[in-house]
Structure 1
């Protein structure tokens, strides 16, 4: 960590790790969203109904919620180098399976499993936090998240052309398989090109695995409370696929899933108690404490930032098409401006967090997000299209900058659990998407935007009232028992 500042044109030291990691994340998003721009061809090949297409879209995000929690635990325990390489390697074969599936059942099952690749984001958060000091971590995490997140837009821009280049009815299959080959090769490249920490640094691991460590009785119950929405979102997805909606699941399978979710929550509660039962017997030493409310507020902030981004990206092309009577191609091009903001917005949010303060910058950005969505709720056919697009991109800037500000703070809560904290916050982003898209199915787009704006006001209150500005240092215990102090400000 001898470099004094971040030089993006360098490919050595910490900047090299940043470039290698954001590109790994970029590839995971290319694979995760590889089906979306090719859905018309996939639908034609398999003769899919509208309900089956919807089922594939839902299955693509369903597993990502628990996956981000699980991957967060694994990366803390085994290190980002091994886990990122493993995720890329395994996902490549799932990608091949999707590309060459010969029936809808296989296609749906593999699409469900590919939701796991969406957890790749969490891994790089821990990797970047190990290589960059607190004064730069916001910008570095913002670049990692923003440039990597652009993978979904890259897939939309390139895969249809690649499928046409391959040609024939199976062109889409070879296009998807190409993305699988890319991550297979890169899994090897990444494994042999990075290390978990700079030379001489210690990689701190949780004392116990299976759940997050907490510091007080109050934090124990807050942790249990914050886990409920994760299971509720999966129950909501089951309901959408169940007999009262898409009818893709019968009564018996749906009931079995509900029972399994309840059982898993009970099991996790028991595991959390096993790991943290000591807080009911004696106070945790001051040097090892952290405030779980920091995690809870960051979860909610990501719920309203990344959650709204995923939801709006899903509906915006159709919204533009219906509102301004555009072709689907024109609407898609205009709506892409929302996603393109990722290239600069996340990094801007991270940089603001580094320069003007974590809490202040997050509060400002969530305020802008809320105002942006309230303005978007007023868009109708009387608006000039140019103004509507500019308003949308302006709102998107605050949304994605807010995401950068959230993950500028995640690594500064408790170093040895950064993966788990990032995993939980990331999962809340998917919970937000499921929640907002479900609301959209019952209301008009105008009300949908107003609901997001209102949710942002609630989260803003939580930030102002409960989030603490990181200050001073955090303590981590070395393997030999000595204590290392890590700057967080």
Structure 2
């Protein structure tokens, strides 16, 4: 049983906030943006934190690992929660509860307490799964790759924006308001957490789970499977080898992005001799590519899918990931800033296109367990970041660590070909794609269904 009335267009309806699909798109990317901003808000301030708390290189490495480690488990759980309770409630509670450790890190007074809060903050990284889930249930096959990639890309943009905004916020507290550096970085994180909390309340108010309403009402009306059946589909997804191939693939792209977000500012400080603000600006250039790069990966996935079916989507995923690995190895060997920055941007382009390409494939693996698949694959990104983190806490020089990672990414790209679809799945995907195109061409003939009486009264309340 598949949800109906998915939107067949994103860009032509972009400002139609009366459509639940468009509201979900905008709220999901914005919520993810803020989560990403808060998640890595401490990274550009690490030079200040390192000095105040007297952290060693190994302790900095452990904090990098901690920031992404718990997200592996959180993403696995959040996919199941989406299938069971819907993305609206799941996102609301994640934002509200996740904001607490973001603000709480201001109470850290030594390495141990800092590490604990950094670990807990990682839970909000599970917001990615809800973002991808919500856009997947709201948009039709002809545009789902684009919608997924754009919402995730603009959300990931928070990882770039935070690199230069948080030093500015820090400077505001220290220079303008006269706080000490120790208070300044703590107050900066309180601001980031408070905004996440308020966004959680807004998500509950302005979104719904699916085009025709919330999961609870749809299940009551017999338009969705029961929660018990959703539990069974989770284990089906766990037994699918294609899901675990995508788990590794996503670790090789999103996992690398998380790693770069954590180390970029310190990398430019330690290896290029830049100051805090300048290093933050250089690091931001990597994340800011999310403005369009991940969308480009999703659009390309949809284009390859239109021409060559699901096999085309997988082929594009391989191409993007392979180029990412080569670009990372190239960047790792740069010693002059004038060459390193363009190399970083090229590497960022392929990294984020690979992420978009991955989630242009995910919605077609198992439609009945979309949350489970998205959760497992999303967790792969963080598992990749955890594995990469051990390289940066070792005695290996960071350029060498990046070179090793580039080789591993290149090798991982071949796993994309393990994601295969049978003839029936290809035929179904083609039929759904054609149907969506017809709906897009004749919008007036297929209006969005009216909400149920219960939903209508709830919306009017």
Counterparts of residues 215-364 of structure 1 (less than 5 Å): 223=239, 292-321=240-269, 323-327=271-275, 329-357=277-305, 358-364=313-319
Which among 81, 84, 88 is matched to residue 91 of structure 2? Answer: 84
- Give the whole-Å Cα distance in 2 for the aligned partners of 1:54 and 1:450: 18
Counterparts of residues 64-463 of structure 1 (less than 5 Å): 64-101=71-108, 105-166=112-173, 167=177, 168-169=179-180, 170-199=183-212, 202-204=223-225, 207=229, 209=231, 212-214=234-236, 223=239, 292-321=240-269, 323-327=271-275, 329-357=277-305, 358-381=313-336, 385-440=337-392, 441-463=394-416
Instruction: Please state how far the C-alpha of 1:438 moved relative to its aligned partner.
Output: 2.1
- Give the whole-Å Cα distance in 2 for the aligned partners of 1:324 and 1:47: 22
**Residues 176, 210 of structure 1: CA spacing in aligned structure 2 closer, same or farther, 3 A cutoff?**
farther
Instruction: Please state how far the C-alpha of 1:329 moved relative to its aligned partner.
Output: 4.2
Task: Give the gaps of 5 or more residues in structure 1.
Answer: 224-291, 475-484
- Give the whole-Å Cα distance in 2 for the aligned partners of 1:329 and 1:413: 43
- Give the whole-Å Cα distance in 2 for the aligned partners of 1:93 and 1:425: 26
Residues 71, 122 of structure 2: 8 Å contact kept:
yes
Q: Which residue of 1 aligns with 2:459?
A: none
Residues 196, 203 of structure 1: 8 Å contact kept:
no
SS at match of 1:135: coil
CA RMSD of aligned residues (A): 2.9
Counterparts of residues 13-52 of structure 1 (less than 5 Å): 13=19, 14-43=21-50, 52=59
TM-score (normalizing by structure 1): 0.74
What is the count of residue pairs matched by the alignment? Answer: 402
Instruction: Please state how far the C-alpha of 1:127 moved relative to its aligned partner.
Output: 0.7
Residues 472, 487 of structure 1: 8 Å contact kept:
no
- Give the whole-Å Cα distance in 2 for the aligned partners of 1:176 and 1:120: 18
Residues 293, 467 of structure 1: 8 Å contact kept:
no
Q: Select between 192-201 and 97-106 the one with higher mean Cα deviation.
A: 97-106
**Residues 457, 109 of structure 1: CA spacing in aligned structure 2 closer, same or farther, 3 A cutoff?**
closer
Residues 98, 107 of structure 1: 8 Å contact kept:
yes
Q: Deviations over 1:345-376 (max 9, x none)?
A: 11000000011121121122122213212323
Instruction: Please state how far the C-alpha of 1:425 moved relative to its aligned partner.
Output: 1.1
- Give the whole-Å Cα distance in 1 for the aligned partners of 2:432 and 2:83: 17
- Give the whole-Å Cα distance in 2 for the aligned partners of 1:462 and 1:50: 33
Q: Does 1:6 align with 2:10?
A: yes
- Give the whole-Å Cα distance in 2 for the aligned partners of 1:331 and 1:173: 20
Instruction: Please state how far the C-alpha of 1:89 moved relative to its aligned partner.
Output: 1.1
Q: Deviations over 1:145-190 (max 9, x none)?
A: 1111111222232233223334313233332222222122111111
Structure number with greater CO (CA < 8 Å, separation at least 6) is 2
**Which structure's residues are more often helix, by fraction?**
2
Residues 99, 174 of structure 1: 8 Å contact kept:
yes
Residues 28, 117 of structure 1: 8 Å contact kept:
yes
SS at match of 1:92: helix
- Give the whole-Å Cα distance in 2 for the aligned partners of 1:371 and 1:46: 37
Instruction: Please state how far the C-alpha of 1:434 moved relative to its aligned partner.
Output: 2.1
Q: Deviations over 1:72-112 (max 9, x none)?
A: 11111111000100111112233333234566654433332
TM-score (normalizing by structure 2): 0.78
Q: Select between 138-147 and 2-11 the one with higher mean Cα deviation.
A: 2-11
- Give the whole-Å Cα distance in 2 for the aligned partners of 1:41 and 1:196: 42
Instruction: Please state how far the C-alpha of 1:129 moved relative to its aligned partner.
Output: 0.6
